[in-house]
Chains A and B, each alone.
Chain A
Amino acid sequence: MKLRLRPCGNFKERYIEELAIFETDFGRLWTLIGIVILFFVIPFLFGSYGLYVLNHIGIYAIAAVGLNILIGFTGQISLGHGAFFGVGAYTAAILMAKLGVPFIPAVILGGIMTSIIGLIFGIPSSRLKHLYLTISTLAGQFILEYIFVHWKSLTGGTEGIILPKSTILGYTLKGDRTFFYVIFMCFVLFLWIAKNIVRTRFGRAFIAIRDNDQAAEGMGIPVFRYKLLSFGISSFYAGFAGALWAAYTGSITPEPFTFTLSIEFIAMIIIGGLGSITGSVFGATFITLINELLSQLAAYLMNLKGLAGVAMTIAPLREFFFGLIIVLFLIFEPKGIAEVWRIVKSSFRLWPFSY
């Protein structure tokens, strides 16, 4: 078998070649190496704090990939993904704490429940263009937030829910390293699914709807059904990530699932690159690291004498930085880190004759 290398031009003859995930065998090789490094090297390089950060990156990346399928590929904006993340977290928490459901079914049901809730808020998109869907998901965000706080018998109100230890087939998950394996196995699986969704019939339909929904309808794509499908998939990703997050942190309150979280998710995919699966991972990494950096900075200043006051004022600057980063990326590099990454790669490849 011959190793497929990158040709010096576009010699594709069949549609199948255009659809292939890996253009060359190097891509396949690098992916394998990446997976090996991810599972056999990284967990042993980092201490418990490093793993904690990595786990959060993994969880947020899953949610961001889902949101990118909706915004980047289908062109429908959701401002409710923070709350959808919360729906997944609460579903899993209630199932595990109150009904004693084991970890795996609880997490999957968390995803399914979220996609049902998501579909309810996605229905207005049937008759309306994306502006209205945006507003409807905004309403969803606030209604769900209200339910998290006020339906005390179910969600425990502001006190929240404490989850029991998660178990898979009798094996108790504890410690950051065990969770690292669970989270990143899901991460790889969901990335693989997303890659395949966007290159097959569904993804092509999503992209057609994003680019011109009238033309898409004219070509025989049932626009409403595909919009809802995209919405359902995206909410499933958010809910699943939320459920993982609940199991990982061990206790949940309504506090994290606010409008700010929704904006953080959007920031992730804009910074990473709209319409790029790998981009969402970059974005999730970038935002989580910035978040950690700013909170570490605040904690560090808090311990210094005389600077505690400064530390207090730094907290709101986090939001400012998010906004600034979103704005700067939109104006100067609307395709995000994924585009920067592509440019870097191709300039290596084309060196010294790049133009």
Chain B
Amino acid sequence: MDFFLTLLVQGLSIGCLYAIAALGFVMIFKSSSVLNFAHGELLAIGAYIFLVISVWLKLPIYLAFIITFVGSFLLGFVIERLFLRPMIGEALIEVIMLTVGLAAMFKGLLLFIFSGNTYVYPNFLPAGLAVKIGSVSISPVYTATFLITVLFLIIFGLFFKYSSQGIYMRSVADSQTAALSLGVNVRRVFALSWAIASLVCAMSGIVLGILNGINVHDLSKMGLKVFPVVILGGLESIGGAIIGGLIIGVIETLVSGYFSTSLRDVVAYVILVIILMIKPYGLFGLVEIERV
């Protein structure tokens, strides 16, 4: 039972990570219906910016956080302006292919600069975060992951609910034409959604880095892991992404605990194929009905 509980807690914290990683993905998909295959590379870029600032330049941690967030926010803007803006109006296939190309580009560049080695952050988490519930002890990393996820969800919940930009973004997600005719600057919303998504990616990249060390290959794989999560939850649903993330995280950890660790990487995709066959629009997705 203890073993099960440990796995469950571990699974839930990994699930939080998947959820927060999926959040940025869903944000881009909702506002511009682009499947972003460069998601993992965005995670990696955020993690590496943080690494360079905190470890190589030895700046204090809070400064490193601020610079990483500002940097990745700007990076999102730049990516949208340079690569996505010229593709507005092109076929969806070509836009998706573009993100595949971007992914290969970023990955190559990161490997060129940092090579395939695994780096670690200095341990800056306060030891007071370690929690002990009964016989199950939770290490500070997991508590931090959980807290950060909850914090981000609250911030984004408030942002979408009350800020004018958040409301614009929701309106664009709902219907681009309607939003445009009501005077919403759709281009700015696209740019903003890429920037925010990139910021969220940086955050989850840092958390992943604390948990597993920073490695280009692992992080870009993580970006593809997002797909089972968002498909399970439904591509358009932020709440679904969180629940999907938790479910996938728990199932993965349980499988690796009880069966074999090598199965861990593939079980999410098996789930994905099964969901696509039986409940294709996910748990909370928008069911599109088309009749001829």
Contact = CB atoms under 8 A, between A and B. Distances in A.
Nearest to A121: B273
Contacts, number: 132
Contact of A142 (B112, B269, B290): B269
24 contacts: A71-B93, A124-B276, A127-B280, A130-B93, A132-B231, A132-B276, A136-B272, A139-B228, A140-B273, A142-B266, A143-B273, A218-B292, A318-B108, A319-B105, A320-B108, A321-B108, A322-B104, A323-B104, A323-B105, A323-B106, A326-B97, A326-B98, A327-B101, A331-B86
Interface string B239-269: 0000000000000000000000010011001
Interface in A59-107: 71, 75, 77, 79
A94 to B, nearest CB: 21
B112 A313 contact: yes
A323 B103 contact: yes
Nearest to A145: B266
Nearest to B276: A124
B156 to A, nearest CB: 24
Contacts of A140: 273
Contacts of B272: 135-136, 139
- Top 10 A-B residue pairs of the complex, sorted by shortest distance between their CB atoms: A320-B108, A323-B105, A323-B104, A326-B101, A316-B111, A319-B108, A139-B269, A124-B276, A146-B266, A327-B101
Given A124-B276, A130-B92, A139-B273, A327 B105 contact: yes
Interface in B201-252: 224, 227-228, 231, 235
A16 interface: no
B87 interface: yes
A327 B98 contact: yes
Interface string A309-344: 000010011111111111100110010000000000
A313 B111 CA distance: 8
A138 B273 contact: no
Contacts of B277: 123-124
B2 interface: no
B109 interface: yes
B100 interface: yes
Given A146-B266, A326-B98, A326-B100, A316 B273 contact: no
Given A77-B96, A128-B280, A330-B94, A313 B115 contact: yes
Interface of B: 35, 83, 86-87, 90, 92-94, 96-98, 100-109, 111-112, 115, 224, 227-228, 231, 235, 262, 265-266, 269-270, 272-273, 276-277, 280, 288, 290, 292
Contacts of B97: 77, 266, 270, 326, 330
B280 A316 contact: no
A140 B277 CA distance: 13
Interface string A284-296: 0000000000000
A143 to B, nearest CB: 5
A150 interface: yes
Contact of A263 (B94, B104, B276, B280): B104
B105 A324 contact: yes
Contacts of A321: 108
A134 interface: yes
A131 interface: yes
Nearest to A71: B93
B227 A323 contact: no
B96 A320 contact: no
Contacts of A274: 93-94
Contact of A320 (B98, B112, B115, B224): B112
A268 to B, nearest CB: 12
Contacts of A267: 101, 104
Contacts of A75: 93
Interface in A265-312: 266-267, 270, 274
Nearest to B288: A129
B237 to A, nearest CB: 15
Contacts of A25: none
Given A134-B96, A135-B227, A334-B90, A146 B101 contact: no
Contacts of A325: 101
Contacts of A178: none
B273 A124 contact: yes
Nearest to A213: B290
A346 interface: no
Contacts of A320: 104-105, 107-109, 112
A313 B103 CA distance: 19
A306 B228 CA distance: 46
A255 interface: no
A3 to B, nearest CB: 40
A214 interface: yes
A188 B93 CA distance: 29
B73 to A, nearest CB: 22
A259 B224 CA distance: 11
A77 B100 CA distance: 12
Contact of A138 (B107, B224, B235, B288): B224
B112 A316 contact: yes
B178 to A, nearest CB: 22
Given A75-B93, A320-B105, A136 B276 contact: yes
Nearest to A133: B276
A331 B83 contact: yes
Contact of B292 (A134, A217, A334): A217
